[in-house]
């Protein structure tokens, strides 16, 4: 066909091929669109040769242009971003060219978790029960006040607004706001200063409906980064202040609707209304219907905190009674609100109700964001006694994993962390997906996945190897910005790889630079970053890597970190003394360690032949140590060993300093509840590293699993402990050892 020259910009010619026609436009029932990108800061939409200049290259413009036609078909109009063609948006060609277009509302520059929060709001908006309290942008006009044209003059920058009645000012402002649907305007411009100031002055004189209407009108304005502009700030703060005064007289629906309007303005956390509303509604929880309670939790999610007068136990019990009325998406919104406000579930009934609902439901159609919300709150709320339900939930989610977002998959992988529940098939699938999408992941996602793998001491059989893929990703030049912006996350990645046996010299050297370490240090107390740095330095020392030529910690800095860390640790016997004085409580692991030390001393023929010490000062759990002489008998611990400085690595002495007799050293590692992957003998990553390091020092390592050892009967515990030591080669076989030890321990 023929070509028609549509336009020329600079030296660039833009042509449009329109078949055999010579017109660019509507021909008969056929609508021809041309959206053309010309320059990085210029976007053109050719329909009547409309050209729009974009102030900032990063600013997005929605180019919608619909022409009324007799036909009723739809076209896809490109959504142009300066410099890129982003996506296509479907519009109806019947729509009038003056019809309202979608624009972003006035907003502050404060960042919001828009993805999760917006999804939650959208999910609720789709349900009919929320139609009165959640208003979409194209429905705002329904709640705008009726304009009295006679009293509401058309906007003019020269108008004396002091001479206009309050209702007329509100009407003029509403009419002006409607124009934003057609012509972009900036409310922070000085052009609108007088009308905003006059409106703010009369806010206390408005009725509740008028007050709500003015707030709704504000949402029609395009976004601005200047919510602090004096006249705009004066207006929205006046509305905020007046609404806080009136909230005690409002019913639940109006309170929630107004809160939704503030959310649309993205000023929820800048004003006072939302917190005041939550405090007010916290007293009315028992009056709320199910959908009102869900929206209440949604707004708690936005606020990131619960009102001080909210009784969480009552709230959780109310949610339990409403479970059958709520959809999975609504339950996801509740979970999101509880998690974001750090109000983790304390009521067993609610935790169980969540598990039962998810286990009996088809969750394949639930959105990734809501799946993530479920797994987040259950990870924080479910104790180890629900480990079986966690495993069942992981089994239930397995078929849906390929359809989940990478963020949701990460939350699935994290579910069993606290209770050490590992589902290998689930982990294998997620790991494979992480490998496939590694280059598109944020550094934080890489760090969390490495943490999971390190924790479970499990490297999935991915091809290529996931640790090598992640290490290569960390050193990419494109990651330099993230490495500098999130040094703590980068440090953790390197440390987790090292714990799993993937010590990367270049990465390790980069995080052990003195300047980097000092910038990460806590000023007043030891933190996790200090521990990661110290673990890397000690790992280099213990591995005795001769070909490592990278950075190392300065001795003084290392000593300082060790001292900070050691101040947080305590020996079980010291803790016992404090517990007897009522100053602290013993942990399960401390009780177990003390009991094993007592019985081990009995088996060895005296408590002086065993000690509990921090062999590895960078490890938080002490170990039991004893030595054997050449005759295979327990020997007294040399004073030189007992005199090791507390911050030093306790290396075994090859010979007794006094007698010159050769010694064989044994380190007994107490395997507590959190030392193993649930229902297996597979030890967690840091325990595995400790065993490896003890062996490297020259100890014969024996681990005492709590499941085998726990018994109320002293004789049975002695038999178990003796068998473990004999089977591991730590002690020679002696049929009389247990009976003698029992007499020693009990006096019977």
CB-count exposure of residue 360 (10 Å: 0-12, 13-18, 19+): exposed
Q: What residues contact residue 663 under an 8 Å CB cut-off, 6+ apart?
A: 627, 628, 629, 635, 638, 652, 653, 654, 655, 656
Paired with 12 in beta bridges are 9
Find the helix or strand (DSSP H, E) in which 76 lies. Answer: strand 74-81
Rounded CA separation 226/186 (Å): 9
- Say if 625 falls within a structural domain: yes
Q: Is residue 619 part of a domain?
A: yes
291 touches 126 (CB < 8 A)? no
Q: What is the pLDDT of residue 31?
A: 31
Alpha-carbon distance of 525 to 561, in angstroms, equals: 10
Q: What angle do CA 147, 150, 152 make, to 5 degrees?
A: 55
**Within a domain: residue 489?**
no
> pTM of the full predicted structure?
0.80
pLDDT in tens, 28-73: 323 333 333 333 333 333 333 333 333 333 333 232 222 222 333 3
Residue 392 domain flag: no
Our count of domains for the chain comes to 1
Residue 1 lies in a domain: no
377 is written with which tokens?
Answer: 């709150």
Enclosing H/E stretch for 740: helix 737-746
Assess contact for 673 and 706: CB atoms under 8 A.
yes
Would 236 be classed as within a structural domain? no
**Cα gap 581→593, rounded to integer Å:** 20
Assess contact for 381 and 344: CB atoms under 8 A.
yes
**Residue 595 resides in a domain:** yes
Contact by Cβ (8 Å): 456, 677:
yes
| Distance, CA of 212 to CA of 470 (rounded, Å) | 52
Q: Is residue 610, in this structure, part of any structural domain at all? A: yes
Task: Give the residue among 592, 501, 513, 577 at the shortest CA–CA distance from 539.
Answer: 501
pLDDT of residue 561: 85
Range of the domain at 687: 572-746
> What pLDDT is attached to residue 78?
34
The residue ranges of the chain whose pLDDT is under 50 are: 1-112, 523-526
Is residue 426 classed exposed, middle or buried when 0-12, 13-18 and 19+ CB atoms within 10 A define those classes? buried
Alpha helices in 247-285 (DSSP H): 252-264, 273-282
Contact by Cβ (8 Å): 616, 535: no
Whole-number Å distance between alpha carbons of 483 and 175: 50
pLDDT tens, 228-267? 778 888 999 999 999 999 999 999 999 999 999 999 998 9
């Amino acid at each position: 066909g023929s070509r028609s020259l549509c336009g020329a910009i600079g030296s660039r010619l833009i042509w449009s091929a329109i078949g055999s026609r010579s017109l660019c436009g509507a021909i008969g029932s056929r609508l021809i669109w041309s959206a053309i990108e010309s320059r990085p800061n210029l976007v053109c939409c050719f329909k009547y040769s409309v050209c729009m200049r974009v102030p900032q290259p990063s600013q997005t413009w929605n180019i919608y242009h619909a022409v009324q036609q007799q036909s009723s078909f739809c076209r896809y109009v490109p959504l142009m971003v300066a410099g890129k063609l982003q996506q296509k948006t479907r519009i109806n060609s019947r729509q009038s060219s003056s019809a309202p277009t979608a624009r972003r509302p006035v907003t502050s520059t404060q960042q919001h978790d828009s993805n999760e929060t917006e999804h939650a709001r959208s999910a609720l908006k789709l349900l009919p029960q929320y139609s009165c309290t959640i208003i979409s942008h194209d429905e705002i006009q329904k709640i705008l006040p009726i304009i009295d044209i006679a009293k509401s003059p058309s906007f003019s920058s020269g108008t004396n607004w002091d001479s206009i009645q309050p209702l007329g000012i509100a009407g003029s402002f509403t009419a002006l706001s409607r124009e934003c649907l057609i012509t972009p305007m900036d409310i922070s411009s000085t052009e609108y200063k007088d009308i905003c100031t006059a409106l703010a002055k009369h806010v206390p004189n408005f009725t509740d409906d008028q007050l709500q209407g003015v707030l709704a009108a504000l949402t029609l304005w395009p976004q601005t980064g200047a919510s602090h502009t004096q006249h705009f700030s004066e207006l929205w703060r006046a509305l905020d202040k007046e609404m806080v005064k009136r909230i005690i007289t409002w019913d639940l629906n109006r309170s929630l609707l107004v809160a939704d309007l503030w959310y649309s303005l993205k000023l929820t956390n800048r004003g006072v209304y939302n917190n005041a509303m939550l405090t007010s509604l916290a007293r009315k929880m028992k009056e709320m219907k199910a959908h009102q309670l869900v929206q209440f939790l949604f707004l708690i999610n936005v606020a990131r905190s619960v009102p001080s007068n909210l009784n969480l136990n009552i709230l959780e019990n109310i949610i339990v009674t409403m479970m059958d009325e709520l959809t999975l998406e609504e339950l996801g919104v509740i979970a999101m609100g509880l998690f974001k406000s750090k109000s983790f579930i304390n009521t067993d009934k609610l935790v169980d109700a969540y598990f039962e609902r998810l286990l009996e439901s088809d969750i394949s159609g639930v959105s990734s964001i809501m799946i993530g919300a479920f797994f987040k709150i259950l990870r924080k709320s479910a104790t180890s006694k629900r480990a079986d339900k966690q495993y069942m939930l992981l089994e239930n989610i397995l078929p849906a994993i390929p359809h989940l977002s990478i963020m949701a998959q990460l939350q699935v992988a994290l579910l069993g962390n606290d209770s050490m529940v590992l589902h290998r098939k689930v982990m294998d699938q997620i790991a494979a997906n992480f490998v496939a999408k590694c280059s598109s992941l944020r550094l934080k996602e890489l760090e969390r996945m490495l943490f999971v793998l390190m924790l479970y001491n499990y490297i999935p059989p991915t091809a290529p190897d996931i640790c090598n893929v992640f290490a290569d990703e960390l050193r990419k030049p494109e990651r330099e910005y993230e490495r500098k912006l999130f040094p703590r996350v980068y440090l953790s990645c390197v440390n987790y790889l090292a714990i799993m046996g993937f010590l990367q010299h270049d990465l390790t050297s980069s995080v052990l630079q003195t300047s980097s370490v000092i910038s990460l240090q806590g000023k007043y107390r030891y933190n996790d970053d200090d521990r990661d740095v110290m673990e890397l330095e000690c790992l280099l020392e213990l591995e005795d890597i001769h070909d490592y030529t990278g950075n190392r910690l300065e001795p003084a800095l290392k000593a300082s970190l060790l001292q900070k860390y050691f101040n947080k640790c305590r020996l079980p016997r010291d803790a016992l003394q404090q517990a007897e004085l009522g100053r602290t409580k013993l942990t399960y692991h401390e009780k177990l360690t003390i009991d094993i030390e007592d019985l081990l001393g009995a088996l060895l023929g005296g408590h002086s032949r065993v000690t509990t010490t921090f062999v590895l000062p960078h490890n938080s759990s002490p170990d039991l140590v004893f030595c054997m002489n050449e005759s295979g008998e327990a020997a007294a611990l040399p004073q030189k060993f007992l005199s090791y400085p507390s911050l030093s690595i306790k290396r075994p002495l090859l010979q007794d300093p006094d007698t010159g007799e050769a010694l064989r050293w044994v380190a007994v590692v107490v395997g507590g509840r959190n030392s193993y992957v649930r229902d297996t003998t597979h030890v967690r990553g840091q325990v595995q590293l400790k065993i490896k390091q003890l062996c490297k020092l020259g100890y014969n390592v024996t681990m005492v699993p709590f499941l085998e050892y726990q018994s109320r009967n002293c004789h049975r515990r002695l038999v178990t402990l003796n068998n473990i030591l004999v089977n591991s080669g730590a002690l020679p076989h002696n049929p009389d050892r247990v009976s003698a030890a029992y007499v020693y321990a009990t006096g019977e």
